[in-house]
């Protein structure tokens, strides 16, 4: 291709992700090539959601879906670790007390 970039594939695409309630997974709410349009959509339509986040990718749906999946998978892992720690906190406390004696 030489020195010229493929303008179509190099365009950044901005996607608004939302969680409507605590514990929900991230889901796609809106997207556009113009980040200001996405920010305005968030202000106009999504101010009452639990969380909102704008991600930037290529315009390829596969890449957008993959990034959303990575966010959700990472949060699932963090929640599993938190549950494990909460379930085992008493055992951990006992072990620390035994170590201190």
33-75 pLDDT, tens digit each: 999 999 999 999 999 999 999 999 999 999 999 999 999 998 8
Model-level pTM greater than 0.95?
no
Domain-embedded: residue 64: yes
Residue 58 belongs to a domain: yes
Of 13, 7, 8, 90, which is closest to residue 59 (Cα–Cα)? 13
71: in domain: yes
- 46 inside domain: yes
The pairing of strands 13-19 and 27-32 is antiparallel
96: containing domain: 13-100
Q: Tokens at residue 52, please?
A: 């909102």
pLDDT at 78 over 60: yes
In this structure, is residue 1 part of a structural domain?
Answer: no
Reported confidence tier of residue 9, pLDDT bands at 50, 70, 90? low
Closest CA to 39 of 11, 16, 64: 16
**Cβ atoms of residues 14 and 54 within 8 Å:** yes
In a domain, 60, yes or no: yes
Domain assignment of residue 56, yes or no: yes
Number of Cβ within 10 Å of residue 9's Cβ equals: 9
Token representation of residue 60: 């390829």
DSSP state of 77: H
Give the count of domains, the chain: 1
DSSP one-letter string for 20-65: SSTTPPPEEEEEES-HHHHHHHHHHH-TTSSEEEEEEE-S-HHHHH
Position 7 in a domain = no
């Amino acid at each position: 291709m030489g020195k010229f970039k493929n303008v179509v594939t190099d365009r950044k695409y901005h996607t608004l992700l939302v969680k409507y309630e605590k514990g929900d997974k991230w889901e796609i709410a809106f997207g556009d090539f113009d980040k200001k349009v996405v920010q305005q959509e968030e202000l106009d339509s999504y101010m009452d959601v639990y969380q909102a986040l704008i991600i930037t990718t290529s315009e390829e749906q596969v890449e957008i879906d993959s990034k959303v999946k990575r966010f959700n998978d990472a949060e699932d892992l963090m929640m599993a670790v938190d549950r494990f720690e909460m379930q085992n906190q008493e055992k951990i406390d006992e072990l620390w007390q035994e170590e201190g004696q």
